[in-house]
Amino acid sequence: MDSLSPVVVKLSEAATIDVVGSNLIGAYTVTLDGSPVTLVNPTTTSFSFDMVASAVQEIVPVVMTLANGQTASLPLDYKDFSRAFVTSTQYMAGELGGLSGADALCTSRAAAAGLVGSYRAWLADSTGSPATRFAPVSSGYVRLDGALLANDLPDLLDGYVVAPLNINEFGTVETNLVWTNVAAGGTVEGSNHCSD
């Protein structure tokens, strides 16, 4: 088994999940959160299964097991969550191109890891901050490993997150400290923003 590509579902809707991979050879089974699912049209390159709607906001692991016992995990990446990560690459002040340049770097790093969508940098300068630049979301913010950071934007901006934001775009733990110029409440910390 070489790989499985990410799948995206929306929690509030029942859905048929299509999983595309490669070299899915031989008999295999799939479990959703530990329970077996009925596969539709399983082949060596794809399979599908039905998932019912749920009010629970969580990232549920899908595990595929081949006849020889080899497994692959595939987290369901729910659209109901806004995903957050710290970049695996380091940038010096003055290299970002302002907040819009930093946003572009975040989106580029996400794309390098196979993540879709656009991303915003958790930075502040004289032109804006997360409190002014981030749009409210109807659901929570999660790290890429599924750990909940905050339930909504006000919760994200209250100065406390449920889990540390220390997972990079590839799902690896980062231990370096970061400087954002963002104060509790998502506002500008001070004037130390290198002239934007």
In angstroms, the CA 8 to CA 25 distance is: 24
Residue 173 forms beta bridges with which residues? Answer: 167
* Separation between Cα atoms, residue 141 and residue 148, nearest integer Å: 6
pLDDT band of 131, cuts 50, 70, 90: very high
Contact 46, 36 (CB under 8 A): no
Predicted TM-score of the model (pTM): 0.60
Beta strands in 6-147 (DSSP E): 7-9, 15-22, 28-32, 35-36, 46-51, 61-66, 71-78, 82-84, 141-143
Half-sphere exposure of 81 (CA within 13 A, CB side): 26
Question: Is there a shared CATH topology between the 3-78 domain and the 81-196 domain?
Answer: no
Residue carrying the six token digits 């409210």? 136
Residues facing residue 156 across a β-bridge? none
**pLDDT score recorded for residue 53:** 58
pLDDT at residue 189 tops 50: yes
Kindly report the number of other CB atoms within 10 A of residue 17's CB atom: 19
Q: Find the length of the chain.
A: 196
Average pLDDT value over all residues in the chain = 76
Q: What is the 3-state secondary structure (H, E, C) of 84-114?
A: ECECCCCCCCCCCCHHHHHHHHHHHHHHHCC
Domain 81-196 has CATH 3.10.100.10: yes
pLDDT by residue (tens digit) across 8-54?
444 445 667 766 666 665 666 777 666 777 888 777 777 777 766 55
Tens digits of residue pLDDT in 80-121: 678 899 999 998 877 888 899 999 999 999 999 888 788 999
CB 42 within 8 A of CB 28: yes
Domain regions of the chain by residue span: 3-78, 81-196
Architecture of domain 3-78: Sandwich (2.60)
Question: Considering only CA atoms, which of 15, 11, 16, 17 is closest in space to residue 54?
Answer: 11
